């Protein structure tokens, strides 16, 4: 059985499973649509939350960033996992005890203000739509490989699948679909990693293989360092960015994770507060399986790629792969437009080196190299890795299915958060409180469909790789929602004026900074300054600025709340009751 047929069979079977679950668990009420009737088992909810949270950025893009950035990409591992700990300890149990459907509903009730609720809806939509763009990027990459077509056709196909099972199933259908997607995702990530770790280091555990040795007895990471230096790149294991930017990026990812509405809403789907804590614990376990494997996948995929295009001694004629001899996987990924070769010196061989390194220029001139001829989209590394390593067809097909599961699961959760914010918080909570349940369900589904179209359109021209786009979304959530949630739970004195001032200033500052370097609606050529470290303020990039926005949010929230009247007595008592165990 060929690779194409195997891929169609395995991916087709997973799609049939997802759609079947969505039809079986179709939401019949607003409670089922928004929070799955609050009846999900903690272990099942932990698995669904892990799938919801481990997006295309985690499955497809993170290892690709690790492959090309090396040590610097460790910030994504630290930020995202550390942020989930914050969410589990500081927010999830208290928000579940409050017992509302959505994050804006909590903010509106806690701060006794419809305007505060509307501002929270705006912040949620801005962060979630940005996040969905990253998922659409992952969907486009995975579907383009699956269908062996262009990225654009792949993205449109993925949008259609998301529409089918997210719009009709609601949170109930999404929850049980995400459980299936987690199982597909984790097997698809770990099985190829085990095969490749065995092949490169002889160790079946990728986590240990990362510190193991290759065939010549050299440590894998040492070997990578040597190869990259020979090609004019920086060492894989050293930090290349500034400490300040890494600190703020880590902080932004951490508090952004804790403020993401599509993850928070998952803790509203369990029956009790205790179950919310259990769900958080199980989620961490399920997440750890993938996150401890990612560094090995990144390093090993990059090692395999370089050994494919540069199989011999640097500079020797046989040291560069002849284009006519490229393996089949190379040609398949070329069709997607995410891998490319440009023969700049007309020698018919693929030259891969750092053309920007001035110290390497004499070497390039000596061998007649006129520039790097290989372009590799970082988001293809995980998906292409099994093919580069020449693994069996069923493993390659399983990886494609896993990439699709990762992108689809998080996209569905984000779309759920967007639709509930529009239908429940904006339409029912502010515009038309008397709307019927049937009308609210209809508005939620229309809002979700609209969000799919907008995110898909923006996903055609994303402002970076999937993980970079997602980092922007985390920064937006960090600067707007996380501070007000924390202050709403742990500060009796925080009032509505302070909450609104904090959200507006934090979000506005972050958005302006992002648009200065990324452009309006991420359209190339509309940015005011180049998105390069030398133009960043104090060396802080747009992916990192959310932490600064969060500090500004807290400052203005505390300042304004101290200058204005305290919350009503019943609100202060409500804040106390959220933090006190029921038995007390």
Low-confidence ranges of the chain (pLDDT < 50): 583-584
Pairing mode, strands 374-376 and 339-341? antiparallel
What is the SS3 assignment for 117-140?
Answer: HHHHHHHHHHHHHHHHHHHHHHHH
Instruction: Kindly list the structural domains of the chain, giving each domain's residue range(s) and its CATH number in brackets, ordered by start.
Output: 29-301+387-579 (1.20.1730.10)
Query: How many percent of the chain have pLDDT more than 90?
Result: 23
Distance CA 307, CA 407 (A): 29
CB 415 within 8 A of CB 158: no
Residue 584 has what pLDDT?
Answer: 45
Residue 33 has what pLDDT?
Answer: 57
CB 69 within 8 A of CB 298: no
* Distant-in-sequence contacts of 566-574, Cβ < 8 A, 24+ apart: 566/492, 566/493, 566/495, 567/111, 567/112, 567/492, 567/493, 567/494, 567/495, 567/496, 568/112, 571/110, 571/111, 571/112, 572/492, 574/110
CB 233 within 8 A of CB 242: no
Question: Phi-psi region for residue 37, left (φ > 0), alpha (ψ -120 to 50) or beta?
Answer: left
Residue 115 has what pLDDT?
Answer: 93
Q: Residue 60 is encoded by which pair of tokens?
A: 């497809």
Residue 578 has what pLDDT?
Answer: 80
Residue 30 has what pLDDT?
Answer: 56
Residues 433-471: pLDDT tens digits? 888 878 887 888 888 888 888 877 777 766 655 566 777
Residues 65-77: pLDDT tens digits? 888 888 888 888 8
Q: Return all residues near 244 (Cβ < 8 A) that are at least 6 apart.
A: 538, 539, 540
Rounded to 5°, the CA angle 264-176-190 comes to 85
Distance CA 32, CA 27 (A): 5
Residue 18 has what pLDDT?
Answer: 77
> Would the pTM count as exceeding 0.85?
no
């Amino acid at each position: 059985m060929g690779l194409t047929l195997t891929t169609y069979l395995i991916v087709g079977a997973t799609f049939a499973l997802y759609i079947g679950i969505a039809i079986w668990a179709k939401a019949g009420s607003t409670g089922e649509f928004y929070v799955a009737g609050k009846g999900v088992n903690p272990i099942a909810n932990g698995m669904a939350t892990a799938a919801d949270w481990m997006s295309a950025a985690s499955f497809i893009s993170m290892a690709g960033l690790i492959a090309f950035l090396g040590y610097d990409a460790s910030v994504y591992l630290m930020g995202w996992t550390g942020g989930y700990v914050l969410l589990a300890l500081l927010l999830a149990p208290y928000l579940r005890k409050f017992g509302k459907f959505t994050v804006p509903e909590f903010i509106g009730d806690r701060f006794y203000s419809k305007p505060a609720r509307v501002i929270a809806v705006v912040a949620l939509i801005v962060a979630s739509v940005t996040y969905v763009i990253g998922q659409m990027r992952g969907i486009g990459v995975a579907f383009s490989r699956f269908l062996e077509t262009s990225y654009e056709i792949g993205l449109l196909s993925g949008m259609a699948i998301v529409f089918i099972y997210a719009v009709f199933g609601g949170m109930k259908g999404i929850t049980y679909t995400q459980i299936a997607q987690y199982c597909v995702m984790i097997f698809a990530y770990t099985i190829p990693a085990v095969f490749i770790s065995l092949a490169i280091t002889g160790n079946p555990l990728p986590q240990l293989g990362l510190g193991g040795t290759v065939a010549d007895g050299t440590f894998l990471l040492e070997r990578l360092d040597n190869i990259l230096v020979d090609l004019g790149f920086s060492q894989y294991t050293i930090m290349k960015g500034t400490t300040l930017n890494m600190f703020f990026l880590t902080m932004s990812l951490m508090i952004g994770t804790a403020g993401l509405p599509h993850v928070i809403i998952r803790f509203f789907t369990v029956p009790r507060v205790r179950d919310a804590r259990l769900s958080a614990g199980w989620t961490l376990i399920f997440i750890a399986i993938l996150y401890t494997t990612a560094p090995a996948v990144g390093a090993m995929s990059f090692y395999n790629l370089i050994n494919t295009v540069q199989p011999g001694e640097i500079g020797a004629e046989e040291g560069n792969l002849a284009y006519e001899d490229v393996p089949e996987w190379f040609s398949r990924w070329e069709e997607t437009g995410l891998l490319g070769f440009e023969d700049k010196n007309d020698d018919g061989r693929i030259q891969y080196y750092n053309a920007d390194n001035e110290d390497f220029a004499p070497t390039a001139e000596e061998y007649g190299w006129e520039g790097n001829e290989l372009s590799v989209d970082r988001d293809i590394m995980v998906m292409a890795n099994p093919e580069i390593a020449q693994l069996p067809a069923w493993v390659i097909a399983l990886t494609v299915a896993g990439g699709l599961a990762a992108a689809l699961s998080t996209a569905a959760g984000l779309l759920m958060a967007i639709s509930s914010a529009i239908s429940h918080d904006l339409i029912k909570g502010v515009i038309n409180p008397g709307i019927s349940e049937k009308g609210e369900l209809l508005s939620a589904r229309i809002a979700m469909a609209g969000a799919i179209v907008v995110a898909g359109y923006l996903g055609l021209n994303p402002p970076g790789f999937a993980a970079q786009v997602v980092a922007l979304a985390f920064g937006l959530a960090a600067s707007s929602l996380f501070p007000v949630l924390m202050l709403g739970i742990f500060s009796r004195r925080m009032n509505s004026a302070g909450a609104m001032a904090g959200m507006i200033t934090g979000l506005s500052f972050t958005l302006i900074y992002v648009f200065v370097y990324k452009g309006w609606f991420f359209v190339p050529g509309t940015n005011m300054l180049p998105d390069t470290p030398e133009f960043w303020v104090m060396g802080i990039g747009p992916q990192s600025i959310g932490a600064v926005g969060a500090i500004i949010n807290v400052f203005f929230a505390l300042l304004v709340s101290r200058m204005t009247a305290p919350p009503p007595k019943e609100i202060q008592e409500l804040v106390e009751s959220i933090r006190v165990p029921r038995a007390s």
